[in-house]
Structure 1
Amino acid sequence: MFPTHQRIEQLAQDLVEITAIRHQIHSHPELAFEEVATADLVARKLGEWGFEVATGVGTTGVVGTLRVGSGARRIGIRADMDALAMEERTGLPYASTQAGKMHACGHDGHTSMLLGAAKYLGRTRNFSGTLHLYFQPAEERGHDSGAERMIADGLFERFPCDAVFGLHNHPGAEVGTFMMRKGAFQPATDKVRIRVIGRGGHVARPHLTVDPAVVSASIVMALQTIVSRNVDPTQTAVLSVCSLQSGGAYGVIPNEASIELSVRCFDAEVRARLRQRIEATVHGQAQSYGAQAEIEYQPGYPVLVNTAEEVDFAVAVARELVGPERVDPDFGLVTPGEDFAFMLQRRPGCYLRLGNGLFHARSHPVHHPQYDFNDDNLPIGAAFWSLLAERYLTD
């Protein structure tokens, strides 16, 4: 174990309540823009602890504000609240009570850690300035997300901050370890739907048809050359075929087929290049067979880019809390998308990772039916957020 910072010890008195809150949220998961009970719980607790509370921000978002002293600085800290549409198989006593819904990404833990910090800061008020806590819905949505809607609802005009911070738990790394990176950290994520239109017919007369299955197969193979031949080898990009469907009746060449792609990269220019090459490749392959292709290109989240000064600040706070040996300031790229990137387009800030425990029989990656947020992180995350706020909000 790492040396225990005084702040973590000070939060011990709140740990029973914060753990109970985490288990309550976990057992009652809510999907994107349905986080009504979670938002009510968050708003009620913030009000009890002396925060000004705004609800319904960006649909189901909650913002808690605490102003102390005469300091002019303002900080925003964000936690996400939504769950995933999947069945939980943990067998935990506080497992999901909602069929087909599960907190499989740890947002219940993210919300509870920030609430732990809120309770401590509401009690101690050992800072000078303005603290905004952004409890965000719908991070998992992939498009038209909670961050986008909160920003469109005037988040940074109504609750302005000079810098914004957020974190995500990171299974596979030890509990209480912090990882971050300057610049691009998590990728842009785009979804592509392709409809291949051929000409169906009898399997015994293929010469009278335009087989969409064959066209789709050619498209899939051609797409695999885009990253290797159209993206600078010093850059990183991923193009994955997630779905390929055609037909379903024996003896019938279908009229249509469908393909779905996931596209990810860490650079805006590469993102634009990928779209251009995907669209040209799909149309070119389809036309070469006498087929047609319709493409729905759905932009997802942008590249998440951390600003250098805010990363340095978060690194210093993490080192103060857990020691330098448990902080990695130059962690590698992380491939899941994250809509906190929209907030970082509007304000300087830092998104970081907090180790959720090494993998073993009871520790699983996020989006796994047996995943669970590690409660050992509750006091660590709450201590980090409260210490970060105090160090940032000084006269």
Structure 2
Amino acid sequence: MLHLIPRIKTLAAEAAADTVALRQHLHAHPELSFQEHDTAAFVTEQLRQLGLTPQPIAGTGVVALIEGRNPGRRTVALRADMDALPITEQNEVAYKSTNPGVMHACGHDVHTASLLGVARILVALKEEFDGSVKLMFQPGEELLPGGASLMIAEGVLENPRPASVLGQHVFPRLPAGKVGLRAGRYMASTDELYLTVRGKGGHGAMPEQNVDPVLVAAHIIVAAQQIVSRRANPKLPSVLSFGKVIAQGATNVIPNEVLLEGTFRTLNEEWRNEAHEHLRRLCEGLAESMGATCELEIRRGYPYLENEPALTARTEQAAVEYLGRENVVELDQWMAAEDFAYFSQAASACFYRLGTAAADGSGRFTSSVHTPTFDIDAQALETGPGLMAWLTLRELGEE
């Protein structure tokens, strides 16, 4: 099968300009989570032009099947997310967002264009492989409950059921032409925390007549950190952060209530559930001990993302075959969250990172994801489709 690598690289190079154009079109027309109607229509038309029969799923998602020889032998699923973020773009480029306040700042336009490029390559090679490839264009990665969970609920991992699921994500700290992987637990679960601390407001000069919810909230913020520092196994990464505190008082006015918002993240589902209970008891008990009350709402988010070790090892070896050892790196754990985690909990899955910074070392295209200046080196749109096509053929060849 190694003899196909030069052909894949040729096909990826020949399609690179078109893949870049697809990405630029998507970048210029971003849509928010679960509103990707035009994006889905665009993807559907591109797939139809390749002779495929795309179907809608999860509202604004799209799924299609590429059948090679003996299509029932084995199936590999490939995922790309399609939604954008509520960010105003600051890049001055020809393909700048035309939708005010909405931007592809997390690279989902890259993921979608890349998967369309993969489809083009695999359609050209479908007489060269046995099995089927399921293309999953997913809505709503950036918004709970996550489009992946909805697609799974609607049966995207059935009929046919994939033996493995692959996904890629842009990585602006890695030069174009390189990829990064990590076996095992890679990304964190994510839960949103909403606390309301209620006391009795009044004049700041007469604290004895009040129950100060600001003071109670301050104690909760500090005390809650002991859940991570003293309750969690120190070998298990956990993050508890409060990023929003609203106390509508004044210099001399103690408010009646304080609102707090935060996040809890970890890499173990059992500890995740346990930590929720610790946090609830701490918040309610501490508030009560100070004469106040506290209501805690925990909006459960995505689970942690697990890269199946054997599949990840095969993916790494295939990446080395395609890119060379020097262009495949091992990643650290990352406490950000991704709803690809749902696929990793339901099937053998591998989620890897695609380098998008300038390959010449100039320091261009290094703005982080979720920033208004995020952009990529176009070389990634040749590397990404070619590599994923090769990884797919390698997986289809597994016994």
Please give the range of the TM-score, normalised by the shorter of the 2 chains.
over 0.9
Q: Offset at 1:161?
A: 1.0
In structure 1, what is the Cα distance between the partners aligned to 2:6 and 2:306? 30
Structure 1, 38-47 or 352-361: larger mean CA deviation: 352-361
| Structure-2 residue corresponding to 1:327 | 328
Establish whether residue 137 from structure 1 lines up as the match of residue 139 from structure 2.
yes
- Does structure 2 conserve the Cα–Cα contact (< 8 Å) formed by 1:5 and 1:322? no
Structure 2 counterpart of 1:92, one-letter code: V
Give the letter aligned to residue 342 of structure 1.
Y
SS at match of 1:25: helix
Separation (CA, whole Å) in 1 of partners of 2:206 and 2:37:
57
User: Does structure 1 residue 370 correspond to structure 2 residue 373?
Assistant: yes
SS at match of 1:133: strand
TM-superposed CA distance for 1:130, in Å, is: 1.0
1:357 partner amino acid:
A
Quick check: 1:50–1:66 contact (8 Å CA) kept in 2? no
1:61 equivalenced with 2:61 (yes/no) = yes
Match of 1:127 in 2: 129
- Shift in Å at residue 67 of structure 1? 1.0
What CA distance in whole angstroms lies between the structure 2 residues aligned with 1:158 and 1:61? 17
The Cα shift of 1:68 comes to 1.6
How far 1:249 sits from its partner (Å)?
Answer: 4.2
Q: Letter of the 1:363 partner, please give it.
A: T
The reply on whether 1:360 has 2:363 as its aligned counterpart is yes
Q: Distance in 2 between matches of 1:133 and 1:6?
A: 21
Q: Distance in 2 between matches of 1:204 and 1:179?
A: 58
The residue aligned with 1:75 is 76
Q: Write the letter of the residue equivalent to 2:141.
A: E
The reply to whether residue 393 of structure 1 matches residue 399 of structure 2 is no
Tell me the distance in 2 between the aligned counterparts of 1:345 and 1:249.
48
Partner of 1:108: 109
| 1:183 matched to 2:189 | no
What is the CA deviation profile of residues 343-379 of structure 1, one whole-angstrom value per residue up to 9, with x for unaligned ones?
1111111111112226835420101110013321011
CA-atom RMSD in angstroms: 1.6
Match of 1:28 in 2: 29
Q: Alignment partner of 1:301: what SS?
A: coil
Residue aligning to 1:342:
342
Query: Which deviations, in whole Å up to 9, do the C-alpha atoms of 1:147-180 show, x marking residues without a partner?
Result: 0111111111245211111011111112122211
Question: Would you say the 8 A contact 2:75–2:160 is kept in 1?
Answer: no
Structure 2: runs of 5+ lacking an equivalent? none
Distance 1:385 1:216 in 2: 48
The answer as to whether partners of 1:31 and 1:82 remain within 8 angstroms in 2 is yes
For the residues of structure 2 that align with 1:46 and 1:118, how far apart are their CA atoms? 8
SS at match of 1:196: strand
Deviations 1:6-65 (A, max 9, x none): 53233222122111110010011101000111111111111110222111x011110111
In structure 1, runs of 5+ residues without a counterpart are none
CA distance in 2, matches of 1:11, 1:362: 22
1:5 shift after superposition: 5.4
After superposition, what is the alpha-carbon deviation per residue over 1:50-93, rounded to whole angstroms, capped at 9, x for unaligned?
222111x0111101111121151011000000000111111111
Partner of 1:382: 385
Aligned partners of 1:85 and 1:101 also within 8 Å: yes
Tell me the amino acid that sits aligned with residue 108 of structure 1: D
**Kept after mapping to 2: 8 A contact 1:186/1:303:** yes
Identity of aligned residues (%): 36
Give, as a single letter, the amino acid of the residue that structure 2 aligns with 1:378: L
Report the Cα distance in structure 2 between the residues aligned to 1:230 and 1:256, rounded to whole angstroms. Answer: 28
Q: What is the letter of the counterpart of residue 12 of structure 1? A: A
SS in structure 2 of the partner of residue 116 of structure 1: helix
Tell me how far apart the structure 1 counterparts of residues 307 and 173 of structure 2 sit (CA, whole Å).
Answer: 22
Distance 1:15 1:376 in 2: 8
Distance 1:164 1:50 in 2: 23
Q: What residue number does 1:287 align with?
A: 288
C-alpha contact 2:356 2:365 (8 A) present in aligned 1: no
Q: Deviations over 1:261-303 (max 9, x none)?
A: 1111111222123212211211121011100000101111101
| SS in structure 2 of the partner of residue 188 of structure 1 | coil
Give the whole-Å Cα distance in 2 for the aligned partners of 1:167 and 1:33.
Answer: 20
Q: 1:362 to 1:114 in 2, by over 3 A?
A: closer
| Matching residue's letter, 1:63 | V
Amino acid of the structure 2 residue aligned with 1:245: I
- Give the match's secondary structure for 2:158: helix
Q: Give distance in 1, aligned partners of 2:79 and 2:249.
A: 46
Deviates further, 198-207 or 38-47: 198-207
Bigger mean CA offset, 352-361 vs 276-285? 352-361
Distance of 2:160 and 2:101 partners within structure 1: 35
Q: For residues 193-249 of structure 1, give each alpha carbon's deviation from its aligned partner in whole angstroms, at most 9, with x where no partner exists.
A: 000011112223221111111111111111122211111111111111111111144
The DSSP-based 3-state class of the residue aligned with 1:333 is: coil
1:1-40 matches, cutoff 5 A: 7-40=8-41
3-state SS in 2 of match to 1:97? coil
Task: Give, as a single letter, the amino acid of the residue that structure 2 aligns with 1:84.
Answer: L
Task: Identify the range of structure 1 (94-103 vs 156-165) with the bigger mean alpha-carbon deviation.
Answer: 156-165
Amino acid at match of 1:344: S
- Once the two structures are overlaid, the 10-residue window that deviates more, 169-178 or 183-192, is 169-178
What letter corresponds to residue 68 of structure 1 in structure 2?
G
Shift of 1:338: 0.6
CA 99–248 in structure 1, closer or farther in 2 if over 3 Å, else same: farther
